[in-house]
Amino acid sequence: MIFLNIKKQNKNRLYNGTLIHTRALPFVELNGNREAIIEGCDGIIEYDDVRAVINCRSHTITFSGFGICLCNLSVDSIKVTGNFTDISFSEL
């Protein structure tokens, strides 16, 4: 039981006074409306030149705009570039 508690504690991280579940939530870094780096994603749900929907385990992130490009595709991170007009989050 003690072992399980420690494991559970490690999974949770205190971020700005709020306890967040690191495993479930993705880390999103935005550089203006031109670039976004998403860490902790599972894959791409939908992709075309005006819309990219990224699956992030518990959430989906939708980037809308024009000239959307997936610069780097790796196992758990994606770099999305383009002119974003809208970013929306939805829970799965």
Partner 1 sequence: MIFVQFYRFLRNYVTISISGGFGERFLNLCNKEKIYLWDTSCADACITTNIYCKDFIKIRKLRKKSGVKIKIIKKTGISFLIKKHRARKVLAFGLTAAAVACLILNQFVWSIEVIGSEKISDYEIIEAVTKLGLMYGTYSKGFDEKNAGRQAVNLFNGEILWMAINIKGSKATIEVRDYEKENKETAEKSPCNIIADFDGQIVNSEVFSGTEVSGRGSAVKKGELLISGITENTDGSVNYVSADGKISALHDIAVEKSYGAEYICSEAEEIKAFNRVDFFGISVPFFGKTEENNLSYSKRYLFDGKPLPLSFQKNVSASVTSGHTLQNDILYCIDSFSCEEYDKYRNTLIISSEYKISSDEKGYNIYACYNCLDFIGQKAYISVEN
Supply the DSSP symbol for 76.
S
Does 66 engage in binding with partner 1 (CB under 8 A)?
A: no
- Is residue 49 a contact residue for partner 1 (CB under 8 A)? yes
Using CB under 8 A, which of the segments 3-11, 17-25, 30-38, 70-78 binds partner 1? 70-78
Does 31 contact partner 1 by CB under 8 A?
no
- Rounded CA separation 30/55 (Å): 17
Single out the residue of 37, 40, 47, 59 in contact with partner 1 (rule: CB under 8 A): 47
Instruction: Enter the tokens of residue 48.
Output: 């075309």
CB half-sphere exposure, 51, CA atoms < 13 A:
6
Instruction: Report the distance separating Cα 39 and Cα 28, nearest Å.
Output: 6
Characterize the bridge pairing of strands 43-48 and 35-39. unpaired
- The residue within the footprint of partner 1, chosen from 21, 71, 86, 89 (CB under 8 A), is 71
From 12, 15, 73, 89, residue interacting with partner 1 (rule: CB under 8 A):
73
Residues that bind partner 1 (CB under 8 A): 43-49, 67-75
